[in-house]
């Protein structure tokens, strides 16, 4: 089926971080289905290559390139690879994130704190900066940052993670404001409870599951594909006048 022209990504190069599973994997598949050549990136080469191969098996365009966004040299190498191979980058989805510590904020150890900041803030910032410079040269591009509803309401025992996701929202607005005149649009989504390995431990625990569902008007967690649709809108021409926005996709949790 041919995509509607507003959602047609044919010929566009899209880099998705954290694409080896969950929300990132779903985003990679959907953007490819709408014509993009997707570059699946994550820390582990075998994980992102498996997703890229699954996309190619459907007759679509995909490749893999490993990158740990907590490492500055790997960010630079990834963007250099994209430029050398494709000469352009049209779409960046910052999805890779980490949350190594789950517990009371007063017991947060410095190592976990720093790792969370390195990936969730520094990684998003410098990946956006490097991609943005490539997009600036071509006069057009779209960046989507995957934040979290924890940016709006800190999650229990997830203090540092929540802080970093709030920073992602402000970072999105800062890049959007300064890059709009360059032809770049920068937006974010705030997923609610989504059935991924990242959230699986809590969703599989009956006390936590019941507490979450009690607050959730739709009475179910999202599937990763339900986040991908929001990203498709934000990177497509359908959102040509949308920048600096946070699209909350949470089943009504924050109403």
Give catalytic residues, as residue numbers. Answer: 161
| CA dist., res. 192 & res. 91, Å (int) | 23
**C-beta neighbour count of 65 within 10 angstroms:** 20
Report yes or no: 136 and 91 within 8 Å, Cβ to Cβ.
no
Give backbone dihedrals phi and psi of 111, rounded to 5 degrees, phi first: -65, -50
| CA dist., res. 176 & res. 106, Å (int) | 34
**C-beta neighbour count of 52 within 10 angstroms:** 24
Q: Write the secondary structure of 41-81 as one string of H (helix), E (strand) and C (coil).
A: ECCCHHHHHHHHHHHHCCCCCEEECCCCCCCHHHHHHHHHH
CA 131 to chain centre: 14
The alpha-helical segments, DSSP class H, found in the chain are: 22-33, 45-56, 72-86, 110-117, 124-138, 159-179, 197-203, 206-215, 224-235
């Amino acid at each position: 089926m041919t995509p509607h022209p507003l959602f047609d990504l044919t010929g566009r190069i899209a880099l998705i971080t954290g694409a080896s599973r969950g929300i990132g994997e779903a985003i990679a598949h959907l953007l490819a289905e709408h014509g993009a050549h997707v570059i699946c990136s994550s820390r582990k080469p075998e994980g992102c290559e498996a997703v890229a191969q699954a996309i190619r098996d459907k007759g679509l365009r995909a490749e893999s390139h490993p990158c740990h966004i907590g490492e500055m040299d790997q960010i630079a190498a990834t963007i250099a690879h994209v430029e050398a191979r494709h000469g352009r980058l049209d779409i960046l989805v910052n999805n890779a994130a980490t949350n190594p510590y789950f517990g009371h904020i007063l017991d947060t150890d410095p190592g976990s704190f720093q790792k969370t900041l390195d990936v969730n803030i520094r990684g998003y910032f410098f990946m956006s900066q490097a991609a943005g410079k490539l997009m600036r040269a071509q006069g057009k591009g779209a960046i989507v940052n995957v934040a979290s509803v924890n940016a709006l309401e800190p999650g229990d025992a997830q203090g540092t993670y929540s802080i970093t996701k709030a920073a992602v929202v402000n970072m999105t607005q800062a890049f959007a404001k300064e890059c709009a005149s360059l032809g770049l649009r920068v937006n974010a989504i705030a997923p609610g409870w989504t059935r991924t390995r990242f959230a699986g431990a809590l969703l599989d625990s009956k006390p936590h599951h019941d507490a979450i569902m009690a607050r959730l008007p739709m009475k179910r967690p999202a599937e990763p594909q339900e986040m991908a649709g929001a990203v498709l809108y934000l990177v497509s021409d359908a959102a040509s006048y949308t920048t600096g926005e946070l699209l909350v996709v949470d089943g009504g949790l924050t109403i």
